[in-house]
Structure formats: C-alpha cells, structure tokens
Amino acid sequence: MPKAQQDAYQEFIKGLWRDNPVFVQVLGMCPILAVTNSAVNALAMGGATFFVLVTSSFLVSSLKRWIPRQVRISTYVIIIATFVTVTDFALQALVPQIHKELGAFIPLIVVNCMILGRQEAFASKNSVRLAVVDALGMASGFLFALFALGGVREILGEGRFFGIDLFGPEFEPWVIMILPPGGFLTLGLLLLFFSWVKERKEQLAERLADMQGEPS
Amino acid sequence: MSNLVWIFVSALLINNFVLSYFLGLCPFLGVSGKLETSFRLGLATVFVMLITALCAWFLNTYILIHAPYLRLISFIVVIASTVQFIEMLIKRLSPHLFKALGIFLPLITTNCAILGLAIFSTNKGYGLAQGMIYALGAGLGFTLALVLMAGLREESELAPVPRLMRGTALNLIIAGILSMAFMGFAGLFSAA
C-alpha cells in the first residue's frame, strides 16, 4: 500500500476500533443511551450522526484557513447546527415514524461532544481528505457502538431483533433493558467487556515478548 | 397551580433529566467525583437553566414564529452568549457568587441538558411561568442526581472492586441502579 493510502487507512481504523468514540473515549453519551432501545432507532440515530459528522468535518477542514482562531468554537457549533437542522427536516420528510420516536434527540446531536471534539482535535488541523477519512472512521465507530447497544437491548428487552421474534412465546422479556436503567447497565457491561478484551490482548503480547526474549 | 406543582415534581423526580432522559451525562460521569464540586456544579446548572428558559420563551414568542427553521441555531447562539454576558456581569457585581459558580458557567452552556431543556419545553408548548418552573425542577433534579452519584462514588472508592471494573464501567452500573430506584417515582402521581 502507498504511504498516503496507509495513513488514511490508519485514521479510519483508529475511529472504528482502537479509539472508538463510545467504548474507549466515552464521548457522546447522551444520544447513545437515550435512543438505543431498539436496533432500528439506534441505526437511524447513528446514520444521522454519521451524516452530520462527515459533512461538518468536510466543511470545517475546507474553511480552516478563513476561520479566525478566537471564534472557532462558535463557528464549528454553527456549522454543526446547520447540518443538524438539515438532517432533522430530512428525516421528518422521509421517515416520519422514526423521526417521531427519536423526537427531541435529533436536535440534540448539536451538543454531541464527539462531533465538536473531532472538529477541534482533527478537522481544523488536517487536510480535507484526511479529515473526511477520520470523520468516516469515527462515525462508523459511533454507529457500530449504537448498533451494539441497541441490538443487545432489543434482544434482551423484547426478545426481538429488527422486529423479528427470536425466542418464541416462552421467552419472558427483560423489560428493564428497554427502560432507562437498562441503557446504563448495558453500556457499563459493554465497557467492561471492552476493557477485558484489551487487557487480554496486552497480556498476550507480553507473554509473546517474553517467549521471544528467552533463547529456547 | 396544581399544574405547576405537577410540572415541577415531574421534572425533578419522575422524568429526571439525567436518570431517565440521559441528558447531561458528561458532567454526570465526569464531575461527580467529589460531593462539594458536584453540588456547586448543580447550582450553576440551575442558574443557567433558568436563563435558558427565559431566552427560549423570548425567542419562541417573538422571533421563531417568523422563522422556525432557525430554532436550533438561535437557541445555541443566544443561550451561549447570554450566559457569557451574565457571567461577566456576576464577576463585576458579586465576586463571591462568581467564585462559587466559577468555571462551570461556560462549560454548562454546551451541556446537552441545557439545549434539551429549551427543546423539550418548546415541544410541550410551555408558557413563561411553566417554562421557568420546568427549568427549576429539571435543574434541581440534575443537582439531586449529581449529588447522589458523588456520594455513592466516594463510598465506592473504598470498596474492594475488581480492577477492571473501576472507572466508567462501575459508574455506569451505579447510575443504572440509581435510575432503577428513580423509576419508583413513576407511580407518584398516577392517581392524579
């Protein structure tokens, strides 16, 4: 792979896994928990955030030379708010049912700290191409996290996945999982799982290094 | 009158902003390490929320009827600048109060609970009095959740918790249990 392409690939993977905005950086919590009571809602929310993040990263990165440093944060917020308004109206027109379920949480994408964080930390300092790739990676990571949470909560809370019955009529749904406490508990356990995986990986690498160090 | 009481209790306990709407989670998880700090942050939030309610009512009544598509942008810009302005004013008039609310004021402005408050009370069509009461309830509810969380976290510092569990994972699970407890309030007004 040529170097430029490899860099772009690294930026993409970083958002999706190693620096996953939800599981590793714990950013943008509010929308994550509020709308992930079913897989469909989670996907819609993830898609909306995806669009906003990618378009605002693109715009911020293209305009970075003309944005004065002192008012940069307010400029980013206005750019983000514009795209969120666009998304809000688009969803209302295209999928009114989902728009109604997500309700006030679509406008709240504006204050998702992950989006503003990417503008400040990455898009305002890098080329347009890298900024878009970074946004794509972060947004995919966010979408993945939302989907994981929404999936787990729907399966346990209703015994269904995308509205398809999974366990038959005997299954007693854990209603708590689709209620607010379930959101906190599921995210807590998923975070625990991710730090466990990371720990295992580090231990494995250590053992591997030990084995290579010793002459056999 | 009973309507106002209902709005207050509902925002304070039953539909607690943090524990059932998941708004303002960043400070809830980030700043709830110490009891003292979280109480101050809570008070500062109540203050900003009252200003927000006032701004939102003003914008909705006089400006946004003509241009509803500007709602989001104008909320953010107006609320942020008003808070900034009032912060400067307080610094001049009462250094003591400024010290108590301190650095939290500008931070809170970008808190999702603030924008959430403006949007929710717009969606519910609240007037000025209702909006202010709603803001007061929501702010005190936020403070209550934050202080409870800080107390629990101070206790859990000393508990023998597995190392992997420490940090955000444990805090989220504590929050989950707290949220479960708050669900009990849902029956409070069902008869009324």
What's the token pair of residue A147? 């989907």
For residue A186, is pLDDT > 80? yes
Nearest Cα neighbor of B38 from B152, B178, B135, B133 is B152
Q: Among all residues of chain B, which has the CA nearest to that of A177? A: B176
B120 vs A contacts (CB less than 8 Å): 104
Mean pLDDT taken over chain A: 84
Q: How many CB atoms lie within 10 A of CB B22?
A: 28
The strand pair at A160-161 and A164-165 is best described as antiparallel
User: Per-residue confidence at A215, pLDDT binned at 50, 70, 90?
Assistant: low
Give mean pLDDT, residues A90-98: 89
User: Per-residue confidence at B190, pLDDT binned at 50, 70, 90?
Assistant: low
What's the confidence (pLDDT) of residue A53?
93
Q: Does A63 touch chain B (CB under 8 A)?
A: no
More confident: B187 or A49:
A49
Q: How many CB atoms lie within 10 A of CB A84?
A: 26
Give mean pLDDT, residues A5-23: 76
Q: Does A26 touch chain B (CB under 8 A)?
A: yes
Give mean pLDDT, residues A129-146: 90
User: Which residue spans within chain A are E strands per DSSP?
Assistant: 160-161, 164-165
Q: How far apart are CA A42 and CA A46, in angstroms?
A: 6
Scanning B34-167, the segments in alpha helix (DSSP H) are 35-58, 71-93, 95-101, 104-109, 112-123, 128-156
Mean pLDDT taken over chain B: 82
What are the tens digits of pLDDT across the range B26-77?
Answer: 778 777 777 887 888 888 888 888 988 998 888 888 887 887 788 888 888 8
Q: How far apart are CA B134 and CA A135, in angstroms?
A: 37
User: Per-residue confidence at A62, pLDDT binned at 50, 70, 90?
Assistant: very high
For helices B168-183 and B128-156, give the axis angle rounded to 10 degrees: 130
Q: Does B161 touch chain A (CB under 8 A)?
A: no
* Separation in Å, CA of B74 to nearest CA in chain A: 9
User: Per-residue confidence at A52, pLDDT binned at 50, 70, 90?
Assistant: very high
**Least confident range of A10-19, A97-106, A181-190, B119-128:** A10-19
* Separation in Å, CA of B124 to nearest CA in chain A: 11
What's the token pair of residue A216? 């056999």
Best of B77, B173, B185 to mutate (most A CBs within 10 Å, chain A): B173
**Least confident range of A76-85, A185-194, A200-209, B63-72:** B63-72
Judge: A191–B119 Cβ closer than 8 Å, yes or no: no
> Rounded to two decimals, what is the model's pTM?
0.83
For residue B106, is pLDDT > 80? no
User: Per-residue confidence at B192, pLDDT binned at 50, 70, 90?
Assistant: very low
Best of A20, A29, A49 to mutate (most B CBs within 10 Å, chain B): A29
Q: How far apart are CA A83 and CA A88, in angstroms?
A: 9
For residue A169, is pLDDT > 80? no
Task: Spell out the domain ranges in chain B.
Answer: 27-182
What's the token pair of residue A74? 């307010």
B180 vs A contacts (CB less than 8 Å): 176, 181
Return the CA Rg of chain B.
Answer: 18
For residue A198, is pLDDT > 60? yes
Q: How far apart are CA B115 and CA B138, in angstroms?
A: 12
Q: How far apart are CA B133 and CA B118, in angstroms?
A: 13
For residue A51, is pLDDT > 90? yes
What's the confidence (pLDDT) of residue A60?
92
B71 vs A contacts (CB less than 8 Å): 85, 107
What's the confidence (pLDDT) of residue B191?
42
Q: How many CB atoms lie within 10 A of CB B51?
A: 18
Q: What is the DSSP letter of A38?
A: S
More confident: A62 or A2:
A62
Give mean pLDDT, residues A117-126: 86
Q: Does B51 touch chain A (CB under 8 A)?
A: no
**Least confident range of A26-30, B120-124, B171-175:** A26-30
What's the confidence (pLDDT) of residue A48?
92
More confident: A25 or B10:
B10
Give mean pLDDT, residues A95-111: 85
Q: How far apart are CA B67 and CA B57, in angstroms?
A: 15
Give mean pLDDT, residues A141-161: 86
Judge: A85–B19 Cβ closer than 8 Å, yes or no: no
Q: Does B177 touch chain A (CB under 8 A)?
A: yes
Compare CB distances from B22 to A27, A30, A111 and report the shortest one's residue. Answer: A30
Judge: B165–A192 Cβ closer than 8 Å, yes or no: yes
Q: How far apart are CA B17 and CA B10, in angstroms?
A: 10
Judge: B72–A88 Cβ closer than 8 Å, yes or no: yes
What's the confidence (pLDDT) of residue A77?
86
